[in-house]
């Protein structure tokens, strides 16, 4: 067991963490199968942290095939208590333009057939967890304050729509998401946030707006993967700056 308490889960564009002084890699086996990869232990900005690439270190695991239960169980049992989850999203509302960073405060789950709970086998009683506020307010405020301290264009709040993937959404689907009150759309926000709550982990998402969602933005044509990659690459420079700023404050 390590005395590190902070984990960073990297999404699209963040399969490794520049500046992390790696001390060791730990292979974990869980009751829910294999995680996305070994947990990387290291030092970032003077603090011990752990890092896990959500899609695998080669970015080979699609959103609907990620073993979210194994990932969160492994991190918890490695000794962490807080998780900063980095994820690429599409912008729906006008304030969610690429390549902005967003710290959502609500989430709506549109996924299906994913292992979404730890409480389903060999139970002594039925367990419910409160999910009124799905993200840790304290951790969100740390992220927001650090983003502002280094001059990042970051947005406080918004509702994350978690869709199944791996395909992108239709224009009509995005219209529905906006009617439902969603501001950004991604494919990995759930069940990750819910599992973190079941495990008692402080969890917050650092969402990078990689593109306008379908039917949004100037021209509102087909989504260009070249533009997505460009925006993600630009934004991840800022994410790495943010992580180096926020880790010492946590």
Strands 47-53 and 6-10: parallel
Q: What DSSP element (H or E) covers 229?
A: helix 225-246
Which residues are part of a known binding site for substrate? Answer: 187, 211-213
* Residue list for the binding site: 12, 54-55, 187-188, 211-213
Residue 147 structure tokens? 């983003």
Considering only CA atoms, which of 74, 19, 30 is closest in space to residue 52?
74
Which residue numbers belong to the known binding site for phosphate? 12, 54-55, 188
- The 10 Å CB-count burial string (b at 16+, else e) for 31-54 is ebeebbbbbbbbebeeebbbbbbb
> Exposed/middle/buried for 202, CB within 10 Å: 0-12, 13-18, 19+?
buried
């Amino acid at each position: 067991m390590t005395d590190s308490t902070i984990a960073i889960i990297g999404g699209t564009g963040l399969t490794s963490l520049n500046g992390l002084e790696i001390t060791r890699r730990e292979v974990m086996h869980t009751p829910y199968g294999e995680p996305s990869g070994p947990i990387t232990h290291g030092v970032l900005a003077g603090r011990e942290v752990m890092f896990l690439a959500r899609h695998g270190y080669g970015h080979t695991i699609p959103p609907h095939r990620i073993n979210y239960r194994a990932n969160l169980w492994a991190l918890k049992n490695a000794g962490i208590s807080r998780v900063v989850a980095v994820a690429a999203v599409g912008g729906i509302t006008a304030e969610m333009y690429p390549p902005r960073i967003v710290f959502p405060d609500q989430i709506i789950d549109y996924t299906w057939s994913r292992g979404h709970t730890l409480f389903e086998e060999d139970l002594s009683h039925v367990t419910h967890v409160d999910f009124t506020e799905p993200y840790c307010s304290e951790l969100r405020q740390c992220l927001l304050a650090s983003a502002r301290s280094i001059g990042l264009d970051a947005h406080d709040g918004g509702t994350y729509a978690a869709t199944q993937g791996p395909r992108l959404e239709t224009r009509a689907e995005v219209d529905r998401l906006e009617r439902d009150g969603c501001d950004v759309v991604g494919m990995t926000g759930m069940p990750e946030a819910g599992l973190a709550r079941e495990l008692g982990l402080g969890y917050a998402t650092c969402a990078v707006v990689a593109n306008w969602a379908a039917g949004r933005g100037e021209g509102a044509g087909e989504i260009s993967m070249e533009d997505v990659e460009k925006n993600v690459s630009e934004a991840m420079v800022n994410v790495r700056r943010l992580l180096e700023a926020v880790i010492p404050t946590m």
